[in-house]
Structure 1
Amino acid sequence: MLSPVLEMDLDAVAAAYRRMSGAMPGVALHYAMKCNGFRPVLERLRSLGCGFEIASSNELDDLLEIGVDAAEVLFSNPVKAPAQIAHTFAAGVRQFAFDSTTEIDKLATLAPGSNVVVRLAAPDIDSDVPSEGKFGVEPDVAVDLLLSARDRGLRPYGVAFHVGSQMMRPTAWKAPLDEVAVMMDALADADVRLEMVDVGGGFPASYDSPPPPMSEYGAVIQAGLDRLPYPVRAVAEPGRALVAGAGRLVATVIGTAVRGGRKWVHLDVGAFNGLMESLETGNRLRFPVRDSLGAPDPEPCHLTGPTCDSQDTILFDVPLSPGLTTGDQVFIESAGAYTTVYASTFNGFRIPGVRVVGSVTTT
């Protein structure tokens, strides 16, 4: 079996999409391409009616190749290179996020008349995968920015926020939606009526423990939308919730050693070439792991990657078969999100290949 390789089950992707869209019937889902840009995944989601969110013009080009209408794409990166604004605007993108006056200047010049969505800083973030703090402004600043955008010929279209990645608390969406309501009232006083609220991503996948039911997230979000001063179009940008559980990373043991009384299992894939979230979370993101021996009495092992960097460790105290040795295989589940897209060729080790498993086979 080819190794390392990320196996993607497209039927599992479809099931996750249907589950989430069913839990949020009033929210349009726009898949965050940064999570996994494997073309068969994009094609399956498009066939289901899913929209898309991008952070770069290269991601837009990938969508155009499968027939996605650029006018339906959300460009949610609040700070964009001028060339990327010009390229995406020329291709038909008309919705751009921003959170600064300098971005207003760029958009007014390079994407005149576009719909602009201000990025609001979400309060009370404590997600399992920290991803916030770089973008977003306070509500009063967001109001001023939208009014400034209007004065520059842009269309103040909406507000967006992001509660962080792998958010296990459905109630995290309540406070930012309440702040959106305050913004909408303030904007109404200036004769500005928003048309869209983007509740972002952060919806979790199942790793070592299952997250709350998606219906709980949908209920909190719908309640927040119902509290807004007037109806708006609601969108979300799910990523890992749609694809993480559909992926299995197949790895091969390249060696084992006993150090400090604990067995270390070295794989042909590690943090730098496929599992960067191990580093990003301080090894707290617990991927489900099993091995090809399947011994009934596993022993705790440290699971590490192939490079010479000591940081290249995936998980500590993973239960694995005692006889596991060179050439055996290890299967890392819930690996469909932020694996190959984060991967590098550090130390010369290759990025895992990606293949489809399930009802459709693609190389």
Structure 2
Amino acid sequence: MDHSRPTPELLIDLDRVAAEYHALVAGLPGMTVHYAMKCNPHPEILAELHGLGCRFEIASAAELDLLTGVGVDPAETLFSNPVKPLAHIEHAHASGLWRFAFDSEEELDKLAAAAPGAAVYVRLAAHQIRSGVPSEGKFGVDPAAATALLLAARDRGLRPFGVAFHVGSQMLLPQAWRAPLRAVGQVMEKLAAEQVLLDMVDVGGGFPARYGRAVPPLSEYAAAIETGLAALPYPVPVVIEPGRAVVAAAGTLRATVIGTAVRHGRRWVHLDVGAFNGLMECLETGNELRFPVTDSRRAATRERCHLTGPTCDSQDTIMFDVELSAGLRAGDEVYIGSAGSYTSVYASSFNGFDPPHVRCTRDPGRFR
């Protein structure tokens, strides 16, 4: 590990990114991967995945520009944000992107005006099953509304193309895909009665990364999804939108201890990175997301510590009861694993503390 470089630093192993992508392709056969770039849009990650044949999913025109900057064809990209600024729709459509998500009449009006003739896919609300990082509830409609919206799209000169849903981030229950796929089948049956056949089912993301606990094998997710697809009224191409499962394990967040203190019998270890400048998911999950952690001392004697960030906000705590080397002090380093997703993108400079610098490499052994 290069201790001469300043921290906080997010190290990304591009070989691990490639390995995780290949694992998804092999483990979920027949499903086209569109990487959800919102979780880490670093250009070197995008270029790596593009070179492997991965496709992409965006939520804004700025994300599309990042993709075209590394040679991605907009025509192979999905715009899955159900509510988009009009200017973003115009820009994407002019660039050659032709598939857009929606879940409202007003969005259809915008699409008809700014992307005439475009293909559209409606967002279904997913059955509420708590995921590791709860993220659903904002978007989606029921099957009856989804059917009506796709027929309304046809009336506006748009192409009713597909149905999408998302079960929630870091989903540890493969059966979470069952109920939404049953709802997809209902929509397809109702549309077929109106002579409308769909060309895409987007089963979203949610495939988990390994943090402090085991995750089900991909084979269980594949089995649940394939069972649901087999029950649909006719075969239809399937896409997935993984993010965390592609990049989380590839990232190691290198941080420096800026101070320690014993409070109420427990040692607090303060780092130069925390919830507000890189680890916001700690707050989102109530500190339940257990990142694997090591430190530069690697001492045989261990003690349980509370790992916290640099700001003066008491919420800025990463994890409680983390086992680290005894005697950690200012200047030592702590390495937070599985940090490749939703770290640099969520980071701010709150309280004047810098977000992590991102550095990509191909030396998988150097972070261990």
- Give % identity: 64
One-letter amino acid of the counterpart of residue 213, structure 2: S
Determine the C-alpha separation between the residues in 1 that align with 2:42 and 2:314. Answer: 30
Does the 8 Å contact 1:245/1:336 carry over to 2? yes
Q: Please tell me the root mean square deviation across aligned C-alpha atoms, in Å.
A: 0.9
Deviations, residues 210-248 of structure 1 (Å, cap 9, x unaligned): 210111111211221111111111000000001000100
One-letter amino acid of the counterpart of residue 269, structure 2: V
Task: Please name the residue that 1:311 is paired with.
Answer: 315
Determine the C-alpha separation between the residues in 2 that align with 1:85 and 1:243. Answer: 28
Task: Please name the residue that 2:56 is paired with.
Answer: 52
Runs of 5+ in structure 1 lacking a partner? none
| Matched ranges for 1:7-22 at <5 A | 7-22=11-26
Does the 8 Å contact 1:267/1:304 carry over to 2? yes
Task: Please name the residue that 1:85 is paired with.
Answer: 89
Tell which deviates more after alignment, 213-222 or 327-336: 213-222
Correspondent of 1:285 among 262, 286, 289: 289
Runs of 5+ in structure 2 lacking a partner? none
Correspondent of 1:129 among 129, 133, 140: 133
Determine the C-alpha separation between the residues in 1 that align with 2:128 and 2:275. Answer: 29
Deviations, residues 35-72 of structure 1 (Å, cap 9, x unaligned): 10111111111111110000000000000001100011
Say whether residues 1:4 and 2:8 are aligned partners: yes
Deviations, residues 296-346 of structure 1 (Å, cap 9, x unaligned): 231110111111111100000101111100000000000001000000011
| Matched ranges for 1:241-252 at <5 A | 241-252=245-256
One-letter amino acid of the counterpart of residue 250, structure 1: R
Task: Please name the residue that 2:171 is paired with.
Answer: 167
One-letter amino acid of the counterpart of residue 234, structure 1: V
Count, aligned residues: 360
How far residue 358 of structure 1 moved from its aligned partner, in angstroms, is 1.9
Task: Please name the residue that 1:185 is paired with.
Answer: 189
Determine the C-alpha separation between the residues in 1 that align with 2:236 and 2:341. Answer: 30
Tell which deviates more after alignment, 222-231 or 4-13: 222-231
One-letter amino acid of the counterpart of residue 108, structure 2: I
Say whether residues 1:117 and 2:121 are aligned partners: yes
| Matched ranges for 1:1-363 at <5 A | 1=3, 2=5, 3-359=7-363
Does the 8 Å contact 1:71/1:93 carry over to 2? yes
Does the 8 Å contact 1:26/1:222 carry over to 2? no
One-letter amino acid of the counterpart of residue 192, structure 1: V
One-letter amino acid of the counterpart of residue 283, structure 1: N
How far residue 359 of structure 1 moved from its aligned partner, in angstroms, is 5.0
Aligned partner of residue 6 in structure 1, secondary structure: strand
One-letter amino acid of the counterpart of residue 300, structure 1: R
Aligned partner of residue 238 in structure 2, secondary structure: strand
Name the TM-score, length of structure 2 as normaliser: 0.97
Determine the C-alpha separation between the residues in 2 that align with 1:318 and 1:249. Answer: 16
Aligned partner of residue 149 in structure 1, secondary structure: helix
One-letter amino acid of the counterpart of residue 339, structure 1: T
Determine the C-alpha separation between the residues in 2 that align with 1:101 and 1:334. Answer: 40
Determine the C-alpha separation between the residues in 2 that align with 1:10 and 1:159. Answer: 32
Aligned partner of residue 320 in structure 2, secondary structure: strand
Deviations, residues 139-192 of structure 1 (Å, cap 9, x unaligned): 100000000111000000000000000000111111111111111000011111
Determine the C-alpha separation between the residues in 2 that align with 1:56 and 1:163. Answer: 21
Deviations, residues 260-310 of structure 1 (Å, cap 9, x unaligned): 111110000000000000011110101011111111231110111111111
Name the TM-score, length of structure 1 as normaliser: 0.98
Determine the C-alpha separation between the residues in 2 that align with 1:339 and 1:206. Answer: 16
Deviations, residues 6-34 of structure 1 (Å, cap 9, x unaligned): 00011111111111100111100000010
